[in-house]
Structure 1
Amino acid sequence: WPRLAPDEDSFRINLEVVGPAGGAKPQVLNPRLQGIDAAARPFQVTADFGARSDSVNGGEVYDLTHPKADIVLADGSWVALTANDGRFEAKTNTLHLAGDVNLFHDQGYEFVTTVAQVDLITSTASGDAPIIGQGPFGILDAEGFRIFDSGERVLFLGHARLTVLDGATSDQ
């Protein structure tokens, strides 16, 4: 576990610097960010490559290639996120994901969209691009989403459509 005692500013980045290719910014091979959220639950973000980018509001920013995030939720379940590209803003502990964003919940839910923003400290997420999903409940598509209360509440935006599968129960 990353830390035993909660620390609001707690995160750690492991770096292995790879030299620049063709005059590009230096890249980091397999960057890893580990931390804890506001409720002392661990999270981890990894990527194939990372590069320091221009700062945003005075904070460090890292561009990520093929980021992957693992987040533990309030009920002890976990969520895995993957995307083609990402950007981590250290000052706000925010992960911006783009391109084939996939969210998988360990209870069998999977959602796919093109953009998402994840606040790693509050365990909230949002996206304003179309989203499709499936799970034990059925199939869903909407024009965006908001995840609140560490995954306890999910709001689907715009014209949303849910097809409930035969045999789905209300606790799914």
Structure 2
Amino acid sequence: MTEPSGRPPQRDDFARSEETVRQQRERMAPSIARRLPPDAGELARRRMLLRWAKWVLPATALLLLSSIAVWPEVDRLINANKAALKEISKVKVESGNLIGATYRGLDEHNRPFMITADSAHQANPERMDLDNPVADILSQGGSWLLVRSEKGVYMQHAQILDLTGEVTLYRDDGLMMRSPVADVDVRTGIIASDSWVRAEGPFGVLDAKGYLVSQHEGIAQFRGPGRLILNDDRGSHPADGKAS
């Protein structure tokens, strides 16, 4: 064994020259500077950021919650716009005619009606000439009536539709009528004709010289002389109206 020399133990890693120590301190100086406490300007900026975050973050959360609440309505509007654009895409203009024309409006009781046609020509600001027009009218009770023909003239401001050529009327209670001409007042929901008519329905068959149907009043009147063949089926119900 070796005898202790009486000197304190020495470590090689502490045996550094002054130049080495100086270089190490220079390398550590930037990190020490970065850890210095912020000055007054930096503190002011941090306080402003915190105040801004206290308002912006709750507002952002409220905006997100509101968007979730109103999204169903936004989705409905988007779908409605898509449907409208789809209808508009079907409308084409050829030689001054509208192809696939659709006209929607409200009657005097704010009930909707719709008139469509294969083509429409604007004869003047009041008159529209229609090919294969179809008028769809909704009554107060929710029943519907549809009338169509080969040709038609629609007077926009008066809301009168004059139909000619194989006029056919359908009603959701099973009534169907055919006549060569008919006038439709879409504002009041009245369809009338002074020409011959054949009506068929659950009640039977009726031939007459004219008719008047009020969709909103729920009545059908026929002008004679006429011929009525009643249905023998006891389960059937006669149509409302009268023949004179």
* Aligned partner (choices 8, 13, 19) of residue 94 of structure 2: 19
Greater helix proportion: 2
1:147 Cα offset (Å): 2.0
- Which consecutive unaligned segments of at least 5 residues does structure 2 have? 1-87
CA 1:132–1:93 in 2, change beyond 3 Å: closer, same or farther? Answer: same
Aligned residue for 1:8? none
Aligned residue for 1:6? none
- Measured in 2, the distance between the counterparts of 1:171 and 1:33 equals 30
Aligned residue for 1:35? 105
Q: Deviations over 1:74-97 (max 9, x none)?
A: 221101111000010012000111
- Measured in 2, the distance between the counterparts of 1:137 and 1:99 equals 26
TM-score calculated relative to the size of structure 1:
0.80
The structure having more radius of gyration, on CA atoms, is 2
CA 1:151–1:97 in 2, change beyond 3 Å: closer, same or farther? Answer: farther
1:49 and 2:105 aligned: no
The structure showing larger relative contact order (alpha-carbon pairs under 8 Å, at least 6 residues apart) is 1
List structure 1 segments (4+ residues) > 3 angstroms apart after TM superposition: 14-17, 168-172
Greater strand proportion: 1
- Which consecutive unaligned segments of at least 5 residues does structure 1 have? 1-13, 21-25
TM-score calculated relative to the size of structure 2:
0.58
* 8 Å contact from structure 1 (residues 71, 79) kept in 2: yes
Aligned residue for 1:78? 144
Over aligned residues, Cα RMSD in angstroms?
1.8
1:120 and 2:186 aligned: yes
Aligned residues: 150
- Measured in 2, the distance between the counterparts of 1:29 and 1:110 equals 28
1:160 Cα offset (Å): 1.8
